[in-house]
A and B are shown apart, each in its own frame.
Chain A
Amino acid sequence: MRKLLIPIQGDFVAPRFDLATEIFMARFENGEVVGEPKTIIMERPSDEGLCQMIVEEHITDVVCGGIEELHYNFLVWKKVKVLDGIIGGWQMALEKALSGRLQQGEILQQNSDEPLSL
């Protein structure tokens, strides 16, 4: 079973990993969420704290917006699959990540499954 973490801000994937205070976490298997997802609210934004949480919670997949190279490399070194540069609603990002259709740097439209073409 895998475990996904998404730093969020309201209804959206948090634009910056280092400034996120809301964290969505869910276990998943075969494209389906297993059990009750968790929403964690951090005392203050902290990229180091978030990395520590990812390791302690045995997260296997991270979906996020902008992330510092240092932290990206750390997480990859820890064998975490990181899909960064995601812009858009976190629920759509979650659905696409679970089905394996989310791509790095994808911009998700609010009311459509299709990525925006720039």
Chain B
Amino acid sequence: MSQAHDILTSSAAGLVAAMEAGTWSCEQITRTHLDQIEALNPHVNSYLAVDAERALATARSIDARRAGGEKLGPLAGVPIAVKDLLCYAGLPTTAGSRILEGWMPPYDSTVVERLVAADLVILGKTNLDEFAMGSSTETSAYGTSRNPWDLDRVPGGSGGGSSSSVAAFMAPLAIGTDTGGSIRQPASVTGTVGVKPTYGGVSRYGIIAMASSLDQAGPCARTVEDAALLHEVIGGHDPRDSTSIDQPLPDVVAAARHGDVAGMRIGVVTELGGEGYAPGVEQRFTEAVALLREAGAEIVEVSCPHFVHAMAAYYLIMPAEVSSNLARFDAMRYGLRVGDDGENSTEDVMRASRGAGFGAEVKRRIMLGTYALSSGYYDAYYGSAQKVRTLIVRDFEAAFEACDVLISPSTPTTAFKIGERIDDPLAMYKADLCTIPSNLAGNASGSFPIGLAPEDGLPVGLQVMAPPMADDRVYRVGAAIERFLEQQWGRSMMAMAPRLEHSLLDDQGGN
């Protein structure tokens, strides 16, 4: 195996061990990832911006500090990709929208600040559906990202740039954000790990808001331990986010290393399966349930009767918040301005700029939100949706009385073809059927790879949901399933991925 292959397929934890042992320098590791990006990004389109110079400078300074005997953090020197929804001074932040093309944030988001403080090496910014609205990256103004398992298919969304960068070995780690499934669904369809922390567990400061009561940033990785290590770096209280939880994070790293489910009560949600679920998704899910049972978990079936209304409630609450949050793009202080000809009024310019700067899905959601909040419809739509949100929270509370965690498939199907759902909003929205309830309730939830669907050979994900602030349970179950499946397969999930043309990997994925 070539050195490039070994570096690119290593876990983040493995890279740190290799740097500490002196096997590879941070500069070597960083340069190899930049080379892989240069070779593959034109074909996968994961990155919107690459920060080669700063990344290499950071890498050299980390090497110098390590050589000087300084004790560095558990992810020091590990390259990482950041979703282009998070502000990082010195690189443009576009949110995947024309309206923010070329916008340079004057400050860093808290998540980025913590990555930098923990000595991670930021490689660049990753593609996403415009303002994180979509399940495929097809609504991005900068082209669609591709699924490394099949370049004609979507890498999920909105965080398809982050999921595909990790799955194509262009980064061992990435940051995603999840409002209705944008970390978990992309993880599921790319065979990677993605966790949406408890709402308030990771600061939203400096992240462009979509729906503030639902948005949550979290880790993307190829292993459960790596995801937990990243979670620990970015999580925890931030006084600059008023919804940030002022309590210590649960020990997610210990949970990911422990990975023992013996005696755990695991609930299978009746409502998240059946009609509309691909046979291969159901088959792999059933097998995963059997594995967990064999490992000593007590499996119970749980009904959450209001989950069937979660998507309806979400598609009222989220657009309502979107319509209000995106009012800030008014062409006055930043962003695109068109029609400022000395004749047009502020309002004319505002309307023209928003018409030219926003894409179709963003316009649809803003108008839906405007409708749901308008007088005469408010009670029937937005008011009712907020009540349904209460009923979903109560379903979770009742279920967590009987179980420690709940599980389901992460998304009803494997990766769909590019173009297949783009003009059918409802079909697109169904990709988030399983993930939305956790956002509405604000609990912790993650997606873990559980094999390939026999009918199409594409990755399937297992969703694990835990009560708020019990993020550690998500990792415990994720680590257990990862260990059992790797024992069964004799290799990792990503080692089954096809080798992409132009990739610096020798043959297949990981080890």
Chains A and B are bound partners: no
